[in-house]
Amino acid sequence: MMTSDALEKTRFNMIEQQIRPWDVLDPKVLELLWRLHREQFVPPAHRALAFVDMELPLAEPTEAAMASGRSMLAPKVEARMLQEVDLKPTDSVLEVGTGSGYMAALLAGLAQRVVSLEIDPALAVRARANLARAGVKNVEVREADGAAGLPGEGPFDVIVLSGSVAQVPPALLAQLKVGGRLLAIVGEQPMMRATLITRTGPNSHTTAQRWDTVAPRLAHFPEPSRFHF
């Protein structure tokens, strides 16, 4: 088990050697990464790897059937996603794919309120426990299929998809306020791009592809046909 000094040294290395070099320079984001302890959201079996530049399984080794293929995104990806959406203290946020609850906690650290949707009941329970342990009070985790969003409760200032999709459903874009932003990792392996979509009017949007990465798929989002004629 790490001493507190060793833990803080490892956190420092994560921020300074992984995250800053990936153009994450917003002081609010960097301060939050110091304050919110990522290791509290990592399954105990993988906690020693909490600050490593890699995705981490959301399931314990004895829970292979749960959360199959699901993982926490790499720290630099989480940090840069947080920077891209440029949160304001008054923002209302919808997250799809709660996982461990860490990204929801990061969003909540800079926004007013976060509703996070998790399709896996066991992960939803664990995320609520992680958030409570970390003292995060402005996140509501709901067990739900996030592919449809929350059409009865929008519009939202920000929507974040914490995983990859082949394309962003129009139904989610319709849940953004005018001026609102949706961030998703869009595409097919080996080429996916962090994509920021801003709603500029009732029927108009702008799209910017920010940087390349890869991420596990979110469940139940539409996939392109594999048939070719």
> Structural domain of residue 52, as residue ranges?
4-213
Three-state DSSP class for residue 220? coil
Task: Let me know if residue 135 belongs to a domain.
Answer: yes
Task: Let me know if residue 22 belongs to a domain.
Answer: yes
Task: Let me know if residue 183 belongs to a domain.
Answer: yes
Digitized pLDDT (tens) for each residue of the chain, 229 residues in all: 678 888 999 999 999 999 999 999 999 999 999 999 999 999 999 999 999 999 999 977 665 444 556 899 999 999 999 999 999 999 999 999 999 999 999 999 999 999 999 999 999 999 999 999 999 999 999 999 999 999 989 899 999 999 999 999 999 999 999 999 999 999 998 889 999 999 999 999 999 999 999 999 999 998 876 655 5
CA–CA distance from 210 to each of 80, 105, 176, 180 (Å)? 10, 23, 19, 17
Task: Let me know if residue 116 belongs to a domain.
Answer: yes
- What integer pLDDT is reported at residue 1 of this predicted model? 65
Burial class (CB in 10 A: 0-12, 13-18, 19+), 76: buried
Tokens of 187: 């595409």
State how beta strands 92-96 and 156-165 pair.
parallel
Task: Let me know if residue 220 belongs to a domain.
Answer: no
Task: Let me know if residue 83 belongs to a domain.
Answer: yes
**Using an 8 Å Cβ cutoff, are 110 and 87 in contact?**
yes
For the chain, how many structural domains are there in total?
1
Task: Let me know if residue 223 belongs to a domain.
Answer: no
H or E stretch covering 105 = helix 102-110
- What integer pLDDT is reported at residue 32 of this predicted model? 98
CA–CA distance from 185 to each of 31, 108, 134 (Å)? 24, 20, 27
Q: What CATH number did the domain enclosing 101 receive? A: 3.40.50.150
- What integer pLDDT is reported at residue 223 of this predicted model? 87
Task: Let me know if residue 222 belongs to a domain.
Answer: no
